[in-house]
């Protein structure tokens, strides 16, 4: 059996997205169909549309979502119809070499649904990050559904499915920010602001937000930054050193994904400090650094995949902290929009006043 719903499809490279009828198969073994309630618009969706990820058009976009499980396939025991879930794009396998070594957040063989969603003419869709949640319903692997407290608004919960989790996780999981640390965050969009929130949660004493846009810096301050640096007018490396007794920050989180900002992060960190790269570079970017500085400055240069999160551990915990008022995830939702407004939301991403547009159903 199948059912038909409306969903946002990117038909081809740089073509505008369209709302189309999508055919959803009933869940097979290990799969679940989720009634999507909210899905945030992320840069990665735009990258898919532009052909920047791969050429497997048409894509069913959307991957930062929360909803209610409608039905599950054979053998699914962790979630059941009616459960409120956040969708994750790294459902750990439990069997690969990373999982077997007790590091499931690095899982090298994450799961997606086996069956394909299609257009009505049978054309197979490629769901963005194996999710495809700009749709009234979507088919995923059951492991991509993480149960959380249903009292939280779907538009807020869904944010943890991608950007906000990436940022918070960059600080608390990858950067291992500790009480009293100094932290600098370069690039204060949704991901960078979430890193600010994570650093504050972890007890950082000093949180220095760096951006080229004063509006972003004002927002970062609301999110918990203690200092701000506009790197268009001030040298961020010097400014960060000045704000940290002349030494540099213990942890610098790079949330832009460019060689020049990575270099700033590298030199703005104290000796033996940590750089966390959570911004995603493009294939042509190259980094050049004196190897002696890489050695001589010591410490750790790390990348953060999805905030090195373990959805089953981190999503419910962060939802609880939000419910207790200890972090404010709602502050990331700039606007809620309809399914037909995704193209417009892509355009607004570059205007600089949107952290997240969230499609609500
Ligand atoms: N120096 C400092 N800040 C910069 C620079 C720069 N050279 N260039 C851009 N920025 C700032 C922008 O002003 C903006 O505030 O970086 C921020 C980027 O934010 P968004 O565009 O909202 O992106 P976001 O969703 O936060 O994602 C950041 O993480 O997941 C990846 O693909 C994503 O690489 C992107 C990064
Ligand atoms: Zn695994
Ligand atoms: Zn995303």
What pLDDT was estimated at residue 353? 80
Ligand 1 neighbour 187 (Cβ under 6 A): yes
Q: Which domains does the chain have, with CATH numbers?
A: 2-161+328-360 (3.90.180.10), 168-304 (3.40.50.720)
Tokens of 236: 């961020």
Q: How far is the CA of 154 from the centre of ligand 3 (A)?
A: 16
Going by the DSSP 8-state scheme, the letter that residue 152 receives in this structure is: S
The closest ligand to the CA of 236 turns out to be 1
Q: Are 74 and 37 in contact (CB under 8 A)?
A: no
- Any ligand 1 atom below 6 A from CB of 216: yes
pLDDT tens per residue, range 242-275: 999 999 999 999 999 999 999 999 999 999 999 9
If you count them, how many residues does the chain have?
Answer: 361
pLDDT > 90 fraction of the chain, expressed in percent and rounded:
97
Reduced to 3 states, what is the DSSP secondary structure of residue 337? strand
50 CB-near residues (< 8 Å, 6+ apart):
13, 14
Ligand 1 within 6 A of 261 CB?
Answer: yes
Among 41, 191, 267, the mutation site with the greatest number of ligand 1 atoms within 8 A of its Cβ is 191
Q: Kindly give the distance from the C-alpha atom of residue 128 to the centroid of ligand 1, in angstroms, as a whole number.
A: 20
Compute the chain's Rg from CA coordinates: 20
Could you tell me which of 109, 8, 131, 6 has the C-alpha nearest to residue 58? 8
The reported pLDDT for the residue numbered 352 is: 79
What pLDDT is attached to residue 355?
Answer: 92
CA distance 165 to 318: 9
User: What are the Cα distances from residue 120, in Å, to 6, 8, 22, 139, 340?
Assistant: 11, 14, 6, 16, 19
Structure tokens belonging to residue 111? 């799961």
Q: pLDDT of 212-250, one tens digit each?
A: 999 999 999 999 999 999 999 999 999 999 999 999 999
pLDDT on residue 34? 98
Q: Which of 233, 255, 232, 252 is closest to 241 using CA atoms?
A: 252
Residue 48 Cα to ligand 1 middle (Å): 17
212 lines ligand 1 (CB under 6 A): yes
Percent of residues, the chain, with pLDDT higher than 70? 100
Report pLDDT for 269. 98
User: Under 8 Å CB-to-CB from 23, ≥6 apart: which residues?
Assistant: 2, 3, 4, 117, 118, 119, 120
For residue range 96-154, list pLDDT tens digits in order: 999 999 999 999 999 999 999 999 999 999 999 999 999 999 999 999 999 999 999 99
pLDDT at 200: 98
Q: What is the mean pLDDT of residues 63-77?
A: 98
Look at residue 313 and tell me whether its pLDDT is greater than 90: yes
Q: How confident is the model at residue 351 (pLDDT cuts 50, 70, 90)?
A: confident
| Ligand index nearest the alpha carbon of residue 96 | 2
Q: State the alpha helices, DSSP H only, in the chain.
A: 43-49, 97-100, 154-157, 163-169, 190-201, 214-223, 236-242, 259-267, 291-296, 311-323, 342-349
In the predicted structure, residue 177 carries a pLDDT above the cut 90: yes
Ligand nearest to the CA of 63: 3
Sheet of 249-254: strand order equals 227-230, 206-211, 182-186, 249-254, 269-277, 300-303
pLDDT tens-place string over residues 149-173: 999 999 999 999 999 999 999 999 9
Beta bridge partner(s), residue 360:
38
Q: Which two tokens stand for residue 245?
A: 């007794």
Q: What is the dihedral of CA 130, 135, 137, 143, to 10 degrees?
A: 20
24 in Cβ contact with 137 (< 8 Å) = yes
Residue 253: CB within 6 Å of ligand 1? no
Structure tokens at 271: 């000796």
pLDDT at 350: 82
Beta carbons of 58 and 11 less than 8 angstroms apart:
yes
As given in the structure block, the two tokens for residue 96 are 């690969």
């Amino acid at each position: 059996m199948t059912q038909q719903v409306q969903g946002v499809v990117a038909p081809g490279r740089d073509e505008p997205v369209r709302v189309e009828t999508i055919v959803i198969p009933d869940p097979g073994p290990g799969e679940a169909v989720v009634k999507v309630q909210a899905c945030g618009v992320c840069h990665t969706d735009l990258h898919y549309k532009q052909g920047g990820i791969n050429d497997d058009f048409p894509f069913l976009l959307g991957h930062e979502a929360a909803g209610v499980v409608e039905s599950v396939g054979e053998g699914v025991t962790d979630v059941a119809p009616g459960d409120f879930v956040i969708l994750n794009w790294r459902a750990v396998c439990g069997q690969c070499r990373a999982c077997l070594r007790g590091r499931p957040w690095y899982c090298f063989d994450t799961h997606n649904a086996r069956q394909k969603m299609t257009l009505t003419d049978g054309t197979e869709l490629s769901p963005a990050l194996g999710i495809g949640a700009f749709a009234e319903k979507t088919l995923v692997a059951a492991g991509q559904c993480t149960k959380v407290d249903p009292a939280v608004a779907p538009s807020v919960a869904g944010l943890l499915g991608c950007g906000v989790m990436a940022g918070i996780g960059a600080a608390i999981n990858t950067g291992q920010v500790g009480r009293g640390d100094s932290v600098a965050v370069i690039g204060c969009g949704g991901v960078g602001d979430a890193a600010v929130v994570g650093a504050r949660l972890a007890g950082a004493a000093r949180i220095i937000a760096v951006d080229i846009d004063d509006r972003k810096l004002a927002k970062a301050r609301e999110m918990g930054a203690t200092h701000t640096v506009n790197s268009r007018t001030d040298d961020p490396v010097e400014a960060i050193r000045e704000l940290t007794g002349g030494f540099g920050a213990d942890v610098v989180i790079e949330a832009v994904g460019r060689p020049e900002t990575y270099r700033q992060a590298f030199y703005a960190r104290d000796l033996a400090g940590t750089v966390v790269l959570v911004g995603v570079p493009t294939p042509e970017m190259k980094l050049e650094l004196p190897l002696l500085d890489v050695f001589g400055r010591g410490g750790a240069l790390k990348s953060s995949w999805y905030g090195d999160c373990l959805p089953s551990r981190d999503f419910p915990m962060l939802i609880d902290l939000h419910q207790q008022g200890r972090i404010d995830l709602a502050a990331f939702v700039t606007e809620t929009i309809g399914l037909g407004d995704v193209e417009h939301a892509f355009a607004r991403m570059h205007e600089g006043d949107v952290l997240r547009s969230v499609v609500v159903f």
